[in-house]
Structure 1
Amino acid sequence: MNNKFLKIILGAILTSILIIFTSCQQAPTSQKVIRSANSTWIQELFQTEIVNIGLEKLDYKVEKPKQIEYPPIYISIANGDLEYSTVYYDPQHKEYFENSGGEEKLEKVGTLVPNGVQRYEIDKKTADKYNITNIKQLKEPEIAKLFDSDGDGKANLVGCKPGWSCELVINHHLKAYELEDTVEHNQGEYEILLADAMTRYKQGQPIFYYAYNPHWISTELRRNQDVVWLEVPFTSLPKEMGNLTEKDTSVDGKNFGFPILQQRIVANKKFLEANPVAKKWFELVQIPIEDMNAESSRIKEGENQEADILRHAQEWVKNNQEKYDSWLETARQAANE
C-alpha cells in the first residue's frame, strides 16, 4: 500500500471519528438529522447551503456543513457518517465513488449545476502573435518558453490543487500529448496560483492555466476577448473515467480535452431509500452556471466567510422563490407516493 493511499485511508478514518463525535447531540426523535459536507473549496458551501435551506423547510434537522477533502467525503457518506454532499463531479469523481463502495452504498442524484466546462487557456495577445490554438504546439520548446515564469525553460501551467480529480487528467494529458519535457504542472492552492497568473496578465505577461466554469475567472477573462481556449489533438483520459470519446470532451465542435461535468449530489443509498422526500428534493434543485460565476466573484472580492456564504444562499433562494417553492411542494408530495 503506497503512502498516498494510506494517508487518504487514515484521513478518512479520523474524519469519520470527528463526524461521529460532533454529531452526538441528536435532534428530537420527531426530526431526522441530515449531515452534509463539501470540500475546502469554499464555492461549494454556497450550493450546500441552498440545498440545506430547503431540507429545513421540509422539516429535517440540518447540521452545520463540514469542510473536508473529497476522498473522506465519499467514504463518510458510504459509512453512514454523512447523509449527502453536493460534490459529485460526473464523470471525474467516478473513481472516488467506486472506491467508496459504489452503487451498493452510494447513489448519484439530480444535476445540481449542469454542463461545467474545463479547458486550458492562454492570453489572447500571445495566442494571436504566435498563432497558438492547440496545446500540442507547446511541444515546441520555443513556444513553451513563452509561458516560462520561473526561468527553467518550461511552460508554467497553473494547474489543480493536489487531490482534485483534474490533477489526474492534467498529468495524463502531459504524458499523452508528449508535453512532459516542455510543460511544468504547477500545483498548490488553486485560487492563489490563479491570482498570481492574473497579476502577470495585468502586467502584460503571457499566462497559461487550467480553467473551470463556473468560476470567477470566466467572467474576468473572457473567451476570444482576453483569452483563447486551447484545443487538444485528441481525447485521452484516465481509464478510471470510463470509455469517453471526443463527443464527451467537445464544446461547439472544438475538442478541449476534458469531460463536460455535471455536478450532482451524492448520498447514502440507505438514507435515500428511507427518505423519499429528501431524495426528490435532491433531484429537483438546480443552480445556473451564471449564478455560480456571480457567487464565485463575490467570494473573490472578500465576501468569503461562512456567514457571507449563508447570506448569499438565502438571497439566492429569495430571488428564485417561486421556483424554489415549487420544488419544495413537489418534494413534499413524494411522501405520499
Structure 2
Amino acid sequence: MTTRSISRVLAVALSAGTMLALPAMSVQAQEGPGAGTTVRMAQATWDTGWFHAEIYKQLLEELGYTVEGPTTLDNPPFYQAVAQGDLDLWVNGWFPLHNSYESTYSQGAELVGAVAEGGALEGYLVDKASIEEFDIKSLEDFKRDEVKEAFDRDGDGKADLVACPPGWGCEITIEHHLDAYDLRDHVNPIKASYAASMADAVAAHGEGTPILFYTWTPNWTVDELKPGEDVMWIEVPEINLPEAQADLADAATLDGVEGCINDPCMLGFPANDIRPVVNTAFLGENPAVGALLEAASIPIADIFSQNAKMNAGEGDQEDIERHASEWIEANADLVDGWLEEARAAAD
C-alpha cells in the first residue's frame, strides 16, 4: 500500500469514526524523503505553463518537501538564478527554443526528464479569410503592399504581428526571422503583454479584421481560433534558425500539422520538449526529486484542456490549484507509481 493510498484509507476511516490498525511505518515513509527540505521553485511568465508547474509542486509536497513559490520569472533571470543556486528548479523549460540560455544554465544546472515530448509546436498564423483573399502562404507575402495595408492596424505602414514579450525564448527566434527574411520594413512585432495582445487580436478577428500572430501549443489561442477553421498556420520562406538552434533545421518542417497551408509544413520552429531544469547541487542532495522528474510526464492534450478552462474564466490561482489536484486524483495509480519510484531513490 502506497503512502497516498494509506492517506485515502485513513481519511475514509476517520470520517466513519473507525479505528484502524495499520502496520508500523518509518518516519521517512510517513513524512516522505523531502521532510525538512524546502524547494525553491519558479514558473514561467506564460500562464499556459502554470498548470504543470502546480502539478509538480503538489507532487513534491506529497514527498514531504516544503515548496517555496513558484516565483514567476522571465527566462534570463530564471536560468541565471538556477545556475547560481538561488532557485532549485522549474518545469517550464522549452527545448530547443531555450538552447540560447545553455551557456548560462549549464554552469550549475541541468535538464532532467520531460513534462511533454515533441508536441509543443510554434509558428505564425493568419485568419483564414485573409489567407483566401490575399493568397497568403508564407511570411514572404507580407512584403506585398496590399497585404501590409490590410494587416496594418496602427497606421505605420507595416503589418502588425502579435509577437513575444522581451525575455521570452520565442522573442529571440522571431527577431532572428525578421532579419533573416528581410521583414523589418514590412512587419511590426507587437511585444506587449502576450495575453492582452492576443485578446485584442481575437476581438479584431471577431470584427472581421485581418490578424497575424505567433503562437505555440498547448495554448488557449488554438482553442479560441482553431487552425483549419478560423486561422491557418503559414510557412516561412526558408528554414533559418538562430545559432543556438542551427543544427535543428530538419526539425523545423513537420508532417501532419493540422490547419497548415501545406503538408509537410515549414513552420520555421523545431518542435519542442517541455522539460524541467534543476540546480545540479540540489539534485545531488535530493535523489527523490531527480527520480520524480525522470518518471513524471503530462499528456499535451491534458495541458491543452486545462488551458482552455483558464481561457473560459477559470484562471485564478485557486482554479489552477484545483485543476492540478483533480488531475492528480484522476491519475492516482500513475502518480502513485511515480511517487514510489521517488521514495525508492531516496532509500
* Structures share fold, TM-score greater than 0.5: yes
| Counterpart in the other structure of 1:74 | 79
Q: Tell me whether 112-121 or 235-244 shows the greater mean CA deviation.
A: 235-244
Shift of 1:97: 3.1
| CA–CA distance in structure 1, aligned partners of residues 213 and 323 of structure 2 | 28
- Paired residue secondary structure (2:182): coil
Contact 1:234 1:246 in 2 (8 A): no
Residues 274-330 of structure 1: CA deviation (Å, up to 9, x unaligned): 222110101122122222222222222332222221111111111211211121122
1:326 to 2:331 alignment: no
Among 152, 156, 171, the residue aligned to 2:156: 152
Letter of the 2:335 counterpart: Y
What amino acid does structure 2 have at the position aligned with 1:285? A
Distance in 2, Cα, partners of 1:328 & 1:220: 36
For 2:189, the equivalent position in structure 1 comes to 185
Q: Structure 2: how far apart are the matches of 1:226 and 1:53?
A: 37
Map 1:305-320 onto structure 2 (within 5 A).
305-320=316-331
State how 1:204-219 maps to structure 2 within 5 Å: 204-219=208-223
1:134-158 Cα distance to aligned partner (Å, 9 max, x none):
2211122222222111122211001
- Between stretches 212-221 and 240-249, larger displacement belongs to 240-249
For residue 137 of structure 2, the aligned residue among 124, 133, 136 is 133
Deviation at 1:61, TM superposition (A): 2.2
Q: CA deviation at 1:179?
A: 1.5
Compare 298-307 and 275-284 and name the one that shifted more: 298-307
TM-score by length of 2: 0.84
Q: Secondary structure at the match of 1:111?
A: coil
* Contact 1:221–1:227 (CA under 8 A) maintained in structure 2: yes
* 2:36 is aligned with 1:31: yes
Equivalent residue for 1:288? 299
Q: Which residue of 2 aligns with 1:262?
A: 273
Residue of 91, 107, 111 corresponding to 2:110: 107
SS at match of 1:282: helix
Shift in Å at residue 166 of structure 1?
0.7
Mark the runs of 5 or more structure 1 residues left unpaired by the alignment. Answer: 1-28
Considering only CA atoms, is the larger Rg found in Structure 1 or Structure 2? 2
Asked if 1:231 is matched to 2:206, the reply is no
Query: Which residue, 117, 123, 126 being the options, matches 1:119?
Result: 123
Tell whether the 8 Å contact from 2:42 to 2:72 is kept in structure 1 after alignment: yes
TM-score, scaled to structure 1: 0.86
* Aligned-partner residue type, residue 113 of structure 1: A
Distance in 1 separating the partners of 2:333 and 2:128: 42
CA-based RMSD: 1.8
Report what 2:29 is aligned to.
none
Match of 1:52 in 2: 57
The reply on whether 1:301 has 2:312 as its aligned counterpart is: yes
Asked whether the 8 Å contact 1:246–1:255 carries over to 2, the reply is no
Q: State the alpha-carbon separation in 1 of the partners of residues 97 and 219 from structure 2.
A: 17
Q: Is the 8 A contact 2:53 2:92 kept in 1?
A: no
Work out whether residues 139 and 178 of structure 1, in 8 Å CA contact, stay in contact via their aligned partners in 2.
no
Question: Does the 8 Å CA contact 1:106/1:266 hold for their aligned counterparts?
Answer: yes
Q: Deviations over 1:15-54 (max 9, x none)?
A: xxxxxxxxxxxxxx95222110112323322211101211
Letter in 2 for 1:203: E
Distance 1:301 1:69 in 2: 25
CA contact (8 A) 1:141 1:154 kept: no
The Cα of 1:220 is off from its aligned counterpart by 1.7
Which residue in 1 is equivalent to 2:206? 202
- Report the more deviating stretch, 57-66 or 253-262: 57-66
Partners in 2 of 1:110 and 1:249 — Cα distance? 25
The secondary structure found in structure 1 opposite 2:291 is helix
**Structure 1 residues 278 and 195 mapped into 2: Cα distance closer, same or farther (>3 Å)?**
same
CA distance in 2, matches of 1:139, 1:246: 26
1:44-82 Cα distance to aligned partner (Å, 9 max, x none) = 222111012111222222223212222111122112121
Say if 1:117 and 1:56 are closer, same or farther in 2 by CA, change over 3 A.
Answer: same
Question: CA separation in 1, counterparts of 2:302 and 2:145?
Answer: 40
Contact 2:44–2:72 (CA under 8 A) maintained in structure 1 = yes
AA paired with 1:127? I
Deviation at 1:96, TM superposition (A): 2.1
**In structure 2, do the counterparts of structure 1 residues 54 and 131 end up closer, same or farther at CA, with 3 Å as the change threshold?**
same
How far apart in 2 are the matches of 1:222 and 1:197?
14
Q: Percent identity?
A: 37
- Whether the 8 Å CA contact 2:48–2:218 is kept in 1: the answer is no
Contact 2:75 2:169 (C-alpha < 8 Å) held by counterparts: no
